[in-house]
Amino acid sequence: MNRYKRIVLPGGTKVVTEEIPHVRSCTVGLWLNAGSRWESPKINGISHFIEHLVFKGTESRTARKIAEEIDEVGGYLNAVTTKDYTCYYAKVPDRCMRLAVDIICDIACRPLLAESDITKEKGVIAEEIAMYEDSPEEVVHDLLASTAWGPCALGLPTLGSLKTLKSLGRDDIVKYMSEHYVTEGAVISAAGNIKHDEVVEEVNKRLDLSRRKMKSPTTSKWKPGAQAFRSKAIEQAHLCIGYEAFNRNHPDRFGLYVLDVAFGGGLSSRLFQKLREDRGLVYST
C-alpha cells in the first residue's frame, strides 16, 4: 500500500498516484463531477456534449495538434462520460507523463468552444444517438432507469436526446463548465513509472479550473412497481427487471456482488444455464 499516495491541493483537487517502477508507461486521468445525474431535463446530455467539444481545440492547440502530439509518442487519449462523472485520460510512455498532464489540463481548462465546432459536433452526437437507438440491449437499461428514477438525475440518459441536443447553446455550455469543471471534487489520478511529487508539481502548474463551490447533484427517489414498454420491429425482446438494493457503502454489498455472479454473471450462472443451455429460450442473460 505504500505505493499509493494522495494529497489534496488548496483548491480541493485530489491528486492520487500509484508508483509502479517496473513498467515503462503511465496513465493519467482527470475525473470531474459532470455527468447526467448532475443535469436538469432541459440540458440533458450537456456533460457528454462537452466531452466531445473540448477535443476540438484549445487556446494553444488545434484538434489536429492534440492528436499529433499524443500519436507522436505512441500514446492514447480519450474520455468517458457516465451518470456520475466525466473522465479525461491519457496512456503514454513514462517519460511523457508531463505531456499527458499538460494536454488533459489544456482541453479541460482552456477549450475554445467555437460556434462552428458546436454546430458540427451536434451532427456527430445525433449520429451517436441514432446508433444507440439501434442497440435495444442498451436502450432497455435507460428505459429501466427513467422508469425507476423518473425524468431527472439518475433517470436521465447520458447521451441526452435530439431535442435537448438541438437546444444547447454556447452560453449553456460555458455556464455548465463554470459550475462543474471546478477544483473542489476533481481528482487527478496517475499510475505507472511516475513520481508522486512530479505529478503534483505538474498539476499545480497546469490545472486551472474554477474555484467555485461544487454543486450537489439532484436526488431521485426509487419508484417500486413502475413498468415501461417500448415496441420496435426487431427479432428479439429485451427484458430488464430492477430492484432497489444497497448503496455503495453498505457492508452487505459484497454479498450482493457474489449473488450477482452466481445468479447471472457467467456461463455457469443459474440464469445462463436454465434459460439458454437447458431451455434454449435466449441468446444471452
The pLDDT value given to residue 212:
85
Q: Percent of the chain at pLDDT above 70?
A: 100
Tens digits of residue pLDDT in 135-181:
999 999 999 999 999 888 899 999 999 999 999 999 999 999 999 99
Tell me the β-bridge partners of 32.
86
User: Is the pLDDT confidence value at 19 over 90?
Assistant: yes
Please list, in sequence order, all residues whose beta carbon lies within 8 angstroms of the beta carbon of residue 181, skipping any fewer than 6 positions away: 32, 34, 108, 109, 209, 210
- Specify the pLDDT at position 155: 93
Residue 14 confidence (pLDDT): 97
Report yes or no: 117 and 57 within 8 Å, Cβ to Cβ: yes
Return d(Cα 80, Cα 178) in angstroms, integer. 19
Over residues 223-281, the pLDDT tens digits come to: 999 999 999 888 899 999 999 899 889 999 999 999 999 999 989 999 999 999 999 99
Q: How does pLDDT run across 92-128, given as a tens digit for each residue? A: 999 999 999 999 999 999 999 999 999 999 999 999 9
Give the residue extent of every domain in the chain: 4-206, 245-285
Confidence of residue 1 (pLDDT cuts 50, 70, 90): low
Reply yes or no on whether 51 is catalytic: yes
Q: What is the mean pLDDT of residues 192-221?
A: 92
pLDDT at 213 over 90: no
Q: Point out the catalytic residue in the list 51, 69, 179, 184.
A: 51
pLDDT at 268: 95
Cβ atoms of 44 and 95 closer than 8 Å: no
The domain over range 4-206 is classified in CATH as 3.30.70.1280 = no
**Between residues 247 and 80, which one has the greater pLDDT?**
80
- Residue 56: predicted pLDDT: 97
Band (80; pLDDT cuts 50, 70, 90): very high
Q: In what order do the strands lie in the sheet with 25-32?
A: 4-8, 14-19, 187-192, 25-32, 86-93, 76-81
31 neighbors 184 (Cβ within 8 angstroms) = no
